[in-house]
Amino acid sequence: MAVRVGVVGCGYWGRNLVRVFHELGVLCAVCDVDVALATEFSSEYSVPSLEWVEILEDSSIDAVAIATPAEVHSTQALQSLQAGKHVFVEKPLALHSYEAEEIIALANQGERVLMVGHLLQYHPAFLALRDLTEAGKLGRLQYIYSNRLNFGKVRREENVFWSFAPHDISMILSLTGEMPNSISAKGASYLHKVIADVTNTYLTFPSGVNAHIFVSWLHPFKEQKLIVVGSEGMAVFDDMKGWGEKLQLYPHRIGWREGLPEPEKGEAESVAIEQGEPLKIEAQHFVDCVSDGSTPRTNGAEALRVLKILEETESILAEQRLGGG
């Protein structure tokens, strides 16, 4: 029996979820507080526009995809699980870890699929990068850094770290397979005194791996880049490049000559990756998990780990604003 998915929130990002679930043949309803917008998508995709309570009460709807403002994610996820629905929710899962823990517990209790939209974990280039690291092509991981920069979209409900960094945190945790034992951060606010527009966050891991995340929505051009440095090579995932250049492998390493480090450069090579829309791959993964009961790659536990780093970094930034660091 085919999975039936209702999408809640048809705005800036939700409209993309509506499209991909329709393309997968599982879209059965749309919902939005803007009735005119919901009606527009209802007409375009030939599915009913329902009120939120109707989504919850309709037993024919197997799963709910939530793309509403972040402050209502936890409430709507809990209500969906209480109604017996499987849940896909855009990042973040919640604004507080205790809320996320409650959602995870309810999903486990009801044996419902809970998946969070950490989109880049489904990007073919990142999957290939993860395969490279797991196969030892880069040697021992040493340093990871990411730049997620753009001119906009400026938000007022969250700072740039909450808005941009969850994807990078998720990828870094996937590559390291561990939580950091130390976090430090610096932020700067230019448009509003309490909302950071630029942040640099530094993570240290028990294995010795270090990482940093640079995010800004006050940057002259768009950049989305993840760089992984290992003892035997380096890799660059640049999502602004064409498919043939998105993932580059640099076989650089440091050799030693008479006790002195000496760079040994190799020719960069493009890594072949299978093209595919990350959002559609992500949506298909959710549908597959609902169908066969498997655990999503970005499940509640993974989202909670990301959320804890967001919370700790936010606490550090808040102390700085108050003059404590």
What b/e readout covers 194-227, taking b as 16+ CB neighbours within 10 angstroms? ebbbbbbbbbebeeebbbbbbbbbebeeebbbbb
> What is the structure's pLDDT at 28?
98
The yes-or-no verdict on residue 265 having pLDDT over 90 is no
Report, as an integer, the average pLDDT of 171-178: 98
8 A C-beta contact, residue 106 and residue 78: yes
What percent of the chain stands above pLDDT 70? 99
Predicted confidence (pLDDT) per residue in 185-217, tens digit: 999 999 988 889 999 999 999 999 999 999 999
> What is the structure's pLDDT at 156?
78
Q: Report the mean per-residue pLDDT for the chain.
A: 95
Predicted confidence (pLDDT) per residue in 28-83, tens digit: 999 999 999 999 999 999 999 999 999 999 999 999 999 999 999 999 999 999 99
Report, as an integer, the average pLDDT of 241-261: 89
Q: What is the CATH number of domain 5-112?
A: 3.40.50.720
- Rounded Cα gap, residues 302 and 140, in angstroms: 23
> What is the structure's pLDDT at 59?
96
Question: Thinking of the domain 121-277+309-321, which architecture would CATH place it in?
Answer: 2-Layer Sandwich (3.30)
Identical topology for domains 5-112 and 121-277+309-321: no
CB neighbour list of residue 119: distance below 8 Å, 6 or more residues apart: 167, 278, 279, 282
> What is the structure's pLDDT at 1?
58
- Rounded Cα gap, residues 214 and 237, in angstroms: 15
Q: Of 321, 324, 323, which is closest to residue 159 (Cα–Cα)?
A: 321
The distance from CA 26 to its chain's CA centroid, rounded to whole angstroms, is 23
Predicted confidence (pLDDT) per residue in 78-91, tens digit: 999 999 999 999 99
Amino acid at 191: L
Sequence spans of domains, the chain: 5-112, 121-277+309-321
Report, as an integer, the average pLDDT of 287-292: 98
The yes-or-no verdict on residue 324 having pLDDT over 70 is no
Q: Of 31-35, 65-69, 152-156, 311-315, where does mean pLDDT reach its minimum?
A: 152-156
